[in-house]
């Protein structure tokens, strides 16, 4: 997160062709950040830092975790609100697990809270220790986060917020013209005609055309990304019911 403090580096990354960065944000809860020793993120305005990176033309992909001992019952709603306010389109939310060899693993082993090794599958909603929070509450809250942030209405609102903030990047239009045309045709059919998100899709397309026309290719790309993530989340939630 301290990338946001280095304006010179962000400018150099943009000039070098970087388009996105993955940031391990982990949690909007300061106590949870202290628990996992995420010192670059603690005691700072996380939203302002994220927006600073975005304003330099870098899309922020955010990594988030729930299941810390210091997570309050409100963490799930707070996580959803934080993701929306941040404009982080691609938010990767996972359950905390304790891999062998980590300080977390050693602490939980000492406390007698370990249950098994990690599964290695970060989409199976498994957790390998007894959490402080009620397990059912944790799992339901986790599913609530994923089901909300990738629902069409919420996701497309986040895309619009991000595109409104980002500066358009100069592109070689001829180099990508056929790719964008093909993407437009395919996404128009899958998302604009067949998909349940078709109203949200067309609102995004027309909003981009009339307010941020240079960002239309990215608007289409992010709409397709949203479809991909939504299908994965829906499959995961179906497997758990």
Confidence of residue 169 (pLDDT cuts 50, 70, 90): low
Instruction: Specify the range with the lowest mean pLDDT, choosing from 12-26, 48-62, 120-134.
Output: 120-134
- What is the CB-side half-sphere exposure of residue 190 using CA atoms within 13 A? 15
Residues 127 and 135: beta-carbon distance below 8 Å: yes
Give the model's pLDDT for residue 239.
73
Residues 66 and 141: beta-carbon distance below 8 Å: yes
**Burial, 112: exposed, middle or buried (Cβ in 10 Å; 0-12, 13-18, 19+)?**
exposed
Backbone φ and ψ for 26, nearest 5 degrees, come out as 75, -60
Answer yes or no: is pLDDT of 176 > 80. no
Confidence of residue 160 (pLDDT cuts 50, 70, 90): very high
pLDDT, mean of residues 111-138: 90
Confidence of residue 177 (pLDDT cuts 50, 70, 90): low
Q: Please state the pTM of the whole predicted model.
A: 0.90
Could you tell me how many residues make up the chain? 241
The distance between the two most distant Cα atoms of the chain, rounded to a whole number of Å, is 61
Nearest-angstrom CA–CA distance, 29 and 26: 9
Give the model's pLDDT for residue 168.
62
Give the model's pLDDT for residue 73.
94
Confidence of residue 184 (pLDDT cuts 50, 70, 90): confident
Give the model's pLDDT for residue 196.
87
Strand order in the sheet with 20-26: 20-26, 59-66, 91-95
Answer yes or no: is pLDDT of 5 > 60. yes
pLDDT, mean of residues 183-200: 88
pLDDT, mean of residues 134-156: 95
- Quickly list H helices, 70-197: 75-86, 103-110, 135-149, 152-165, 173-189
Confidence of residue 241 (pLDDT cuts 50, 70, 90): low
Contacts of 108 (CB under 8 A, 6+ apart): 98, 114, 129
């Amino acid at each position: 997160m301290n990338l946001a403090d280095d304006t010179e580096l962000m400018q150099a990354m943009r000039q070098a062709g970087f388009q996105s960065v993955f940031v391990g944000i982990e949690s909007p809860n300061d106590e949870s950040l202290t628990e996992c020793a995420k010192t670059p993120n603690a005691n700072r305005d996380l939203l302002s830092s994220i927006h600073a990176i975005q304003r330099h033309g870098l899309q922020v992909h955010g990594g988030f975790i729930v299941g810390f001992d210091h997570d309050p019952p409100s963490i799930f709603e707070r996580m959803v609100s934080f993701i929306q306010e941040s404009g982080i389109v691609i938010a990767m939310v996972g359950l905390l697990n304790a891999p062998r060899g980590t300080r977390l693993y050693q602490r939980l082993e000492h406390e007698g809270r370990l249950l098994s090794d990690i599964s290695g599958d970060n989409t199976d909603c498994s957790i390998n220790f007894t959490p402080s929070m009620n397990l059912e509450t944790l799992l339901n809250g986790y599913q609530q986060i994923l089901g909300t942030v990738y629902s069409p209405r919420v996701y497309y609102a986040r895309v619009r917020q991000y595109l409104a903030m980002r500066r358009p990047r100069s592109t070689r239009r001829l180099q990508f013209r056929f790719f964008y045309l093909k993407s437009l045709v395919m996404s128009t059919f899958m998302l604009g005609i067949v998909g349940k998100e078709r109203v949200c899709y067309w609102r995004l397309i027309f909003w981009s055309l009339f307010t941020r026309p240079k960002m239309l290719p990215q608007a289409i790309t992010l709409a397709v990304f949203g479809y991909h993530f939504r299908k994965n989340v829906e499959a995961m939630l179906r497997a758990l019911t």
